[in-house]
Amino acid sequence: MSSLLPVYKKWGITPVKAKGAWLTAADGKEYLDFTSGIGVLNLGHGHEEVMEEVQAQLAKFWHTSNLFQLPIQEEVASQLALLSGLDKVFFCNSGAEANEAALKLARRATGKTNIITCRQSFHGRTFAAMAATGQSSIHTGFGPILEGFSYLPFNDLDAFEKEMDDSTAAVLVEVIQGEGGVIPGTESFLAGLTKLCQKHDALLIIDEVQTGNGRTGYPFAYLKYEHVNPDIVTTAKGLGNGLPIGAVMAREGLDQAFSAGVHGSTFGGNPISLAASKAVVAKMADETFLAEVREKSAWFMEELKKLAERTSVIKEIRGDGFMIGLEMQTDSAPYIMSLQEKNLLTLTAGANVVRLLPPLTVTKEELSIALEKISEVCEIESLTL
Ligand SMILES: Cc1ncc(COP(=O)(O)O)c(C=O)c1O
């Protein structure tokens, strides 16, 4: 019997090693891993440059504290500022922590309390991140939920126009709702939120925990759109390619609200995670690498759409870059299990969605293997319907 609290429904797979897009289990099975540790291993398992940076840092020292001068923090922060177009960076350990910090920063900087987020959003499991999450099932049993949060329909700019006023402190939004079902935000919605926030002196916070770090073929997904200008961006997951790290990027001026002693984290910005991030942000600055990600993922998406036309079991293919959702006509769980039996690892998201998050380094050959397996499973399911 397990001594772990059963908050995760575990698969019967025990990993023993992993490299690139492949994971080997204790029973010798080789899986094509399109979960990437739930959108974390954007550069794949055991990425050489990440490994070299981490090993070099391990050999020097592991932890001091944020009281010391740590040039690696400055280096990664300035690279993140450059990539995001924002100015100041705070490091923490996870996506939920990044959102907690962003929400605290927004309240303190604006002096206002009202935060608007979207229905079906996901922002994390801590109290403020949970309150920001627009899914009642995630709140159940944890009340009282932190006050000051309201939820509006995603992609419905009119609803935001009606609800927002000068008491709005911030809007928190994902560019593509990940856990909610891989639902892309429209450019007009996100650009409209930028304008509404400016009008009401509210802050636009974009949660790039899952969409960031190259996942959509851009360093951050909002960078695809010219008129989407966040005041604060949060990220985590892919930023450490498997080591725990989160970051909040904020525009100049907001740092006044986060002076010494106002917020902090013992482990946030630790040199080991930052060594991994150093390799990740270097890749994010490599336009040739990102162009390849966009090209490979567009091809894969097209192939999936062709497949969807051939089968009756897929309702819709959605997403951008390597953040892809296959909305099935029925519950996605049996498809995920059938794919797993064929050695392809995938995830759920929202209702009826099979989510594919392959590493950005995946090859066309590996994508073709996945297409074949998905096609086989769809054919079997079509026959049994
Ligand atoms: C968009 C988004 N925000 C926040 C989180 C929470 O991140 P973490 O699990 O690192 O706290 C997630 C995790 O799935 C996420 O997808």
Residue 369 in any domain: the answer is: yes
- Cβ(174) to ligand 1 under 6 A? yes
How many structural domains does the chain have?
A: 2
Give the 3-state secondary structure of residue 16.
strand
- Cβ(122) to ligand 1 under 6 A? yes
185: which DSSP letter?
Answer: P
* C-alpha to C-alpha distance for 91 and 200, rounded to whole angstroms: 28
**Which pLDDT does position 117 carry in this prediction?**
99
- Cβ(207) to ligand 1 under 6 A? yes
Residue 7 in any domain: the answer is: no
- Measured in Å, residue 117 CA sits from the centre of ligand 1 at 15
Residue 41 in any domain: the answer is: no
Residue 42 in any domain: the answer is: no
Q: Which of these three, 260, 284, 308, is where a domain ends?
A: 284
- Antiparallel, parallel or unpaired: β 114-118 and 149-152: parallel
197 with 265, same domain: the answer is yes
Nearest CA to ligand 1 atom 7: 95
Given a cut of 70, the residues of the chain with pLDDT beneath it are 381-385
* C-alpha to C-alpha distance for 323 and 308, rounded to whole angstroms: 17
**Which pLDDT does position 207 carry in this prediction?**
99
- Measured in Å, residue 222 CA sits from the centre of ligand 1 at 17
- Cβ(352) to ligand 1 under 6 A? no
Strand-pair partners of 206? 173, 233
Instruction: Tell me the CATH number at 209.
Output: 3.40.640.10
241 with 372, same domain: the answer is no
72 with 25, same domain: the answer is no
123 with 268, same domain: the answer is yes
148 with 239, same domain: the answer is yes
Chain position carrying tokens 């990664």: 76
Chain position carrying tokens 């090859």: 363
76 with 155, same domain: the answer is yes
Residue 245 makes CB contacts below 8 A (sequence gap 6+) with 91, 92, 93, 236, 239, 268, 269, 270, 273, 274, 276, 277
Instruction: Tell me the CATH number at 337.
Output: 3.90.1150.10
- Antiparallel, parallel or unpaired: β 314-320 and 168-174: unpaired
Tally Cβ neighbours within 10 Å of residue 346: 26
Structure tokens at 359: 């590493």
Nearest CA to ligand 1 atom 8: 95
**Which pLDDT does position 384 carry in this prediction?**
59
359 with 276, same domain: the answer is no
* C-alpha to C-alpha distance for 52 and 145, rounded to whole angstroms: 43
- Cβ(115) to ligand 1 under 6 A? no
196 with 269, same domain: the answer is yes
Strand order of the β-sheet with 323-328 is 314-320, 323-328, 353-356, 347-349
Structure tokens at 271: 């040199």
305 with 380, same domain: the answer is yes
Kindly report the backbone phi and psi dihedral angles of residue 347, in degrees, each rounded to the nearest multiple of 5, phi listed first.
-125, 165
**Which pLDDT does position 184 carry in this prediction?**
98
357: which DSSP letter?
Answer: -
93 with 225, same domain: the answer is yes
Q: Measured from the CA of 121, which atom of ligand 1 is nearest? A: 1
29 with 95, same domain: the answer is no
Q: Which amino acid is at 31?
A: Y
CA distances from 338 to 17, 69, 333 (A): 23, 51, 9
Residue 300 in any domain: the answer is: yes
Closest to 208 (Cα-Cα) out of 200, 220, 216: 220
Q: Which of these three, 284, 306, 329, is where a domain ends?
A: 284
Residue 374: give the domain boundaries: 15-33+295-384
189 with 137, same domain: the answer is yes
- Cβ(208) to ligand 1 under 6 A? no
Residue 372 in any domain: the answer is: yes
Residue 1 in any domain: the answer is: no
**Which pLDDT does position 303 carry in this prediction?**
98
Residue 53 in any domain: the answer is: yes
- Cβ(121) to ligand 1 under 6 A? no
71 touches 271 (CB < 8 A): no
Q: Which of these three, 261, 284, 307, is where a domain ends?
A: 284
- Measured in Å, residue 213 CA sits from the centre of ligand 1 at 13
